[in-house]
Amino acid sequence: EADLSGYAPKPREPLCTDWKTLYRVCGMPPPASGHIAVMQILGLLERSPVQAAPLQGGVPSADWLHTYTEAARLAFADRALYVADPDFVPAPTGGWGALLDDAYLHRRAALIGPRSMGTAQPGVPTGTRTAFAPQADQPEYGTSHISIVDGDGQAVAMTTTIEAVWGSRIMSDGGTGLPGGFLLNNQLTDFSLAPTDAQGRPVANRVQPGKRPRSSMSPTLVFDRRSGQLLMSLGSPGGPAIIHFTAKTLVGTLDW
């Protein structure tokens, strides 16, 4: 009960990133990892030395999928090292935008070749030093998304989650003494299951009191850079696959 009464939503400024000179893509900042990872993937695709025809017979070509996969490896490596609750973990030098900096993305894209790189290593934005260790892969679940645009052009992209299906599987009034009749989440599993790596270095997304876990949520609004007109409202469920669904929807809709 004390946890619920002490909790309050925390408004944060969205991250907005220009893409392909035509679009301004705005999304959720950390502790959500979605916008940074999505825009890293798109930026790496654009700068990759390996360029392939995206479509073959109306479906994504094998060469394009290879380039996409390599870009995603690089983005997820950065996500595992850097992204966590900014009230507990500082952004790289220069802010979260340092992970989307043009020169940084060019350096990272140069790692993409015609063969798989295997396990990607996180990059180091200029001037950044970190004492953290990357978070190991672990399953993530759940999430719902709605996108709404009304007759006046007002738009909402909203992603909500209680983590796994049915969350903790405990109702607030199911013997807990809490009113409300809602499902309690199991969001603790969005934190790193291991607080440190084998060398004892802390993981940025480790459990700490009052901390909000990293998520993959990617609610996104896309605007025309010149006119400011809303072009898209999108997002997705799917755990870490949210990032791929969102990135591929943006590419398929705006680039192809």
Distance separating alpha carbons of residues 200 and 206, to the nearest angstrom: 13
End-to-end CA distance of the chain: 50
Q: Is 159 a catalytic residue?
A: no
Distance separating alpha carbons of residues 29 and 35, to the nearest angstrom: 7
Tell whether the torsion through CA atoms of 75, 138, 115 and 253 is positive or negative: negative
Distance separating alpha carbons of residues 125 and 116, to the nearest angstrom: 23
Residue 249: CB partners within 8 Å, gap ≥ 6?
234, 236
Distance separating alpha carbons of residues 224 and 231, to the nearest angstrom: 7
Token pair, residue 91, equals 């952004």
Coil/strand/helix, residue 98: helix
- Expressed in percent and rounded to 5, the helix, strand and coil fractions of the chain are 30, 15, 55
Q: Which of these is catalytic: 17, 67, 119, 143?
A: 143
Type of residue numbered 204: A
- Give me the active site residues, please: 143
